[in-house]
Structure 1
Amino acid sequence: MTRRTVEEHAAAVAALLAPVLAPRAETVSLAGALGRLTAEPVRSPVDLPLFRNSQMDGYAVRAADLVDLPRTLPVAGVVPAGAPVPAELPAGTALRIMTGAPVPPGADAIVPVEDTAPDGHGVRILAGRRAGEYVREPGSDVRRGDVLVPSGTRLAARHLAALAASGLAEVPVRRSPRVAILTTGDEVVPPGSQPAPGQLFDANGIALDAAAREAGAIPVLRGHASDDPAQFATLLAEATERADLVLTSGGISQGDYEVVRQALEPRGAWVGAVAMQPGGPQATGVVDGVPVLCFPGNPVSTQISFTVFLRPLLRAAAGLPPMPARTARLAEDVRGVLGKRQFRRGRVGENGRVELVAGPGSHLVASMAAADVLVEVTGDLPAGAEVAVIPL
């Protein structure tokens, strides 16, 4: 079995995925656009506001009629929000108006209701207003053709509100990679089922699905195949039809029932090992033009492999900020493994020192949940040594 360094395998994975992770655009509905990255500047097709309307509940008036106050004006009627534009307001009159309702021609100010008092069939104006006060003019928010949202913006609720207010139902965004996730093994059963002796629950399917989403990808298929090559081949064919990238877990070691290796090696895939622990067995290939990235089956190995080799690429493709390694000092002595880079699970304390969580075993999935960083260990290291830590 050929062995790569961590850097060599990371470079091979990056080269394999470069074509499918290259920036591309697609148009999605606003309902599905939250968190997506705009692929180009989005311009308003309209002026906002669309028409002159009232900022307050009150009375539309001519400012020139409010020179001597207080003054009682006859009320010409009422205009609610959503009504057509009223007829021109005669001089010396007021029009009862609701917030958002169209302001009639001739009116140039709104007197808030709290600055008025009923007076018979009219309204007594207690405070004057200058022309333009509380009147929202068309285009005072944004003009037709102005940029509403710049290119490269991660869409939040406030951006979607502006797009919707401008009448846009769709938005061009950077296309997220479509990922298929395939777990394997006769011994694996779904969470919630009753395992038989020798079986275990499938943690990798949900872990890879969640990790892919968190990194900006869209899982389009999550399936499980037994150690039957025909069943795996059928699932793999479905995955390559639907996804830009296929992820597998398990089935690539040197045992007798390595269904992924058996399916991919005849297709020219690289199946080998990386000088790391956990996560030594790795494989890469292309099936029907779709890259396939294969991780080992132990739950911690799968998660570490995703974090080290795939997460940076997916986040970059989705426009998410990187999560680079930083440094911390060990809180304790650590024994390494000769010739391998270990990725130990750790937790950074308030003093900035990193403590290891449990041992190096690839089965310690509960301990993985208790960690907040991966600690890169190369050889024996004393307490206080500076190490690279990768945030989880």
Structure 2
Amino acid sequence: MPDGSLMNTRPDAARAPSCCDEEAGLMPPAEARRRLLADAVPVEGLPVEGQETLALADALGRILAEAPAATRDLPPFDQSAMDGYGLAEADLAPAAAPALGRTITAGADPGPAIAAGETVRLLTGAALPEGVAAVVMEEHVALRAGQVLPRRALRPGDNIRRRGEDVACGEILVAPGTRLDARHLALLAAAGIAQVAVRPRLRVAVLSNGNELGGAIHDSNRPMLLALLARPEVACTDLGVLPDDRAAIAAALRDAARDHDLILASGGVCGSDADHLPGAIRDAGGWVRTLRLALKPGKPLAHGRIGRAACLCLPGNPLAALVSMLLLGRPLVARLAGAPDLPMVPQAAVAGEGFARKPGRAEYAPARIVGHDAAGLPILVREGSGGSARLKPLSRADGLLCLPASCTSVAAGDAVQFHPFATPLGL
């Protein structure tokens, strides 16, 4: 919880520094993230409705609340790992030539046990009859006069999937707090789990603030933030655009806090005379901290709480709002939803151009992949000529080029860090 000096204080007591002030005293984004998450309480710990029980078909993307246990062994019986021939242990010797008997297909009854000197043809997944010690691949045998002649030496257990070797009956399958994806649903279905208990959806109210919106200037932040929040574990309410009226904002925030877990706003945090969001949070009975980050774009930020609803106020410029949401908003949403906090590990890349920059703030710039070097690393060029209000460069970018605060220049061919917007194997 914040100290008492930050709670319910009036904004006219001390004017917050403008986002256009000098670079001194800026907070690193990692420290801002730490502070945001320290104040976050997962929804499961709040007095909201309890968990839901869903069929697997409806559980994709939801956060698991209870650990399901397997109701059966996987595999449920010893089975052949491939098309081949099942041999008794006595016939694993190089000179053995057992006689070929019946064929067993997947799903068929395995029938009686085999003895030394006889073999059965097995298709992949077929249950093994008693007496099968190993399975030889059909590519590794010769068939002659009704006999099977293995061309490779085998050991007991070769090419056999043993009962329960993947999952044992009663074993915990997926840990609570996991966001369920296709892999988990496949495992749960195979283990005989038809329903799962999931955490309640995180209820997020999204708004934009500013008298300039709605006329010649259309609001782009709300559609962008709502799209970023369009996940199965989140339920969003669109509060629209609120005017630069402190009393009206406070009333809307007070109402939203009654039945939401997070209020997400953009605009109104820079510190100018028309920026009322921090003061409105206090007027609504909450507390708020305003931060100035060593981040480009995205220096101004505010976070706090009204009752049980967390509040996060992002900058108004679209690229700054996006960067702040990706770096700080998404981890906060994950923490409140009870989801795992995934590390944001950048990908190695190579600069395709040289440029100079002013140090002091970590920078995230839209970048496009123009090729790959001999090692397969993406070669990047910046999209657009800068400016946190420009959307076209962002729409054409493949991801964000990340430059540390200490960086003063980049030369073509330098190693750089890159956060791609999409990955080929993403689930």
Please state which band the TM-score falls in when normalised by the shorter chain: 0.5 to 0.7
User: Who is 1:246 aligned against?
Assistant: 263
- Secondary structure of 1:256's aligned partner: coil
Once the 2 structures are TM-superposed, how far is the Cα of residue 217 of structure 1 from its aligned partner? 4.6
Correspondence 1:14 to 2:43: no
Deviation larger for 246-255 or 163-172:
163-172
Q: Note if contact 2:267-2:315 (Cα within 8 Å) is conserved in structure 1.
A: yes
- Secondary structure of 1:269's aligned partner: strand
Q: Note if contact 1:329-1:383 (Cα within 8 Å) is conserved in structure 2.
A: no
Correspondence 1:376 to 2:398: no
Instruction: Assess, with a 3 A threshold, how the Cα gap between structure 1 residues 355 and 187 changes in structure 2: closer, same or farther.
Output: same
User: Who is 2:59 aligned against?
Assistant: 33
Q: Give distance in 2, aligned partners of 1:324 and 1:161.
A: 27
1:342 pairs with one of 363, 370, 377:
363
Q: Give distance in 2, aligned partners of 1:339 and 1:37.
A: 38
Correspondence 1:291 to 2:310: yes
TM-score normalized by the length of structure 2: 0.59
Q: Give distance in 2, aligned partners of 1:167 and 1:256.
A: 61
- Look up the equivalent residue of 2:32 and give its one-letter code: H
Q: Give distance in 2, aligned partners of 1:357 and 1:293.
A: 28
- Look up the equivalent residue of 1:15 and give its one-letter code: A
Correspondence 1:260 to 2:288: no
Once the 2 structures are TM-superposed, how far is the Cα of residue 45 of structure 1 from its aligned partner? 6.6
Q: Give distance in 1, aligned partners of 2:190 and 2:294.
A: 55
Once the 2 structures are TM-superposed, how far is the Cα of residue 281 of structure 1 from its aligned partner? 1.3
Alignment map for 1:295-334 (pairs within 5 Å): 295-315=314-334, 317-319=338-340, 321-334=342-355
Q: Give the count of matched residue pairs.
A: 308
1:222 pairs with one of 238, 247, 253:
238
TM-score normalized by the length of structure 1: 0.64
Task: Say what the alpha-carbon RMSD is for the aligned residues.
Answer: 4.2
User: Who is 2:13 aligned against?
Assistant: none
- Secondary structure of 2:230's aligned partner: helix
- Look up the equivalent residue of 1:236 and give its one-letter code: L
- Look up the equivalent residue of 1:5 and give its one-letter code: M
Q: Give distance in 2, aligned partners of 1:350 and 1:178.
A: 42
- Secondary structure of 2:204's aligned partner: strand
- Look up the equivalent residue of 1:295 and give its one-letter code: L
- Secondary structure of 1:28's aligned partner: strand
Q: Note if contact 1:34-1:157 (Cα within 8 Å) is conserved in structure 2.
A: yes
User: Who is 2:197 aligned against?
Assistant: 172
1:199 pairs with one of 191, 194, 217:
217
Correspondence 1:361 to 2:387: yes
Instruction: Assess, with a 3 A threshold, how the Cα gap between structure 1 residues 143 and 325 changes in structure 2: closer, same or farther.
Output: closer
User: Who is 2:27 aligned against?
Assistant: 5
Deviation larger for 309-318 or 348-357:
309-318
User: Who is 2:174 aligned against?
Assistant: 150
Once the 2 structures are TM-superposed, how far is the Cα of residue 301 of structure 1 from its aligned partner? 0.9
Q: Give distance in 2, aligned partners of 1:205 and 1:250.
A: 11
Once the 2 structures are TM-superposed, how far is the Cα of residue 246 of structure 1 from its aligned partner? 1.7
- Secondary structure of 2:270's aligned partner: coil
Could you report, residue by residue, the CA deviation over 1:129-183 in whole angstroms, capped at 9, with x for unpaired residues?
Answer: xxxx99xxxxx99999645843356545686588689997641235553322221
Instruction: Assess, with a 3 A threshold, how the Cα gap between structure 1 residues 148 and 309 changes in structure 2: closer, same or farther.
Output: closer
Q: Note if contact 1:184-1:251 (Cα within 8 Å) is conserved in structure 2.
A: yes
Rg comparison, structure with higher value:
1
Q: Note if contact 1:278-1:360 (Cα within 8 Å) is conserved in structure 2.
A: no
Once the 2 structures are TM-superposed, how far is the Cα of residue 14 of structure 1 from its aligned partner? 2.1
Once the 2 structures are TM-superposed, how far is the Cα of residue 357 of structure 1 from its aligned partner? 0.8
Could you report, residue by residue, the CA deviation over 1:27-50 in whole angstroms, capped at 9, with x for unpaired residues?
Answer: 3322531123434332467999xx
Deviation larger for 341-350 or 308-317:
308-317
Q: Note if contact 1:225-1:232 (Cα within 8 Å) is conserved in structure 2.
A: no
Q: Give distance in 1, aligned partners of 2:316 and 2:168.
A: 55
- Look up the equivalent residue of 1:237 and give its one-letter code: R
Instruction: Assess, with a 3 A threshold, how the Cα gap between structure 1 residues 329 and 230 changes in structure 2: closer, same or farther.
Output: same
Instruction: Assess, with a 3 A threshold, how the Cα gap between structure 1 residues 238 and 362 changes in structure 2: closer, same or farther.
Output: same
Could you report, residue by residue, the CA deviation over 1:168-222 in whole angstroms, capped at 9, with x for unpaired residues?
Answer: 7641235553322221222223xxxxxx3x332x2211211222235x7503312
Once the 2 structures are TM-superposed, how far is the Cα of residue 360 of structure 1 from its aligned partner? 2.1
- Look up the equivalent residue of 2:349 and give its one-letter code: A
Q: Note if contact 1:375-1:389 (Cα within 8 Å) is conserved in structure 2.
A: yes
- Look up the equivalent residue of 1:179 and give its one-letter code: V
Q: Note if contact 2:319-2:394 (Cα within 8 Å) is conserved in structure 1.
A: yes
Q: Which runs of 5+ in 1 are unaligned?
A: 49-99, 101-106, 110-132, 135-139, 190-195
Q: Give distance in 1, aligned partners of 2:33 and 2:172.
A: 39
1:208 pairs with one of 222, 225, 229:
225
